[in-house]
Amino acid sequence: MNIYAGNLHYDLSEEQLKEIFEEYGTVNSVKIITDKFSGKSKGFGFVEMENDTEANQAMEELNDAEVKGRSMRVNQARERSDNRRSNDR
């Protein structure tokens, strides 16, 4: 399951985010989104977990959890939609 993690502290590393989610189960991948020019974190990222039950528990328990002084927002990631294509028709 792909999980959105937002309102992250800008200094939080992918490894630290992975460690937080690994308390709930197997983490396949972690990606913190960065600015393409500065390389700095945009304050959100995605965590892919192998097991849906573990992922649901992680989302429930980590949503609003304080990490490095910020209240993390966690929910199931939605598929990205490309509105530009549908507007071009």
Ordered by start, the domain boundaries in the chain are 2-45+52-78
CA distance linking residue 62 with residue 16, whole number of Å: 14
CA distance linking residue 3 with residue 60, whole number of Å: 11
Global pTM value: 0.86
Give me the residue label for tokens 């700095």: 40
pLDDT at 79 (0 to 100): 80
CA distance linking residue 36 with residue 68, whole number of Å: 24
Alpha helices in the chain (DSSP H): 14-22, 52-62, 83-87
pLDDT at 83 (0 to 100): 56
The CATH superfamily of 2-45+52-78 is RRM (RNA recognition motif) domain (3.30.70.330)
Strands 66-67 vs 41-49: parallel, antiparallel or unpaired? unpaired
CA distance linking residue 64 with residue 52, whole number of Å: 20
Residues of the chain scoring pLDDT < 70: 81-89
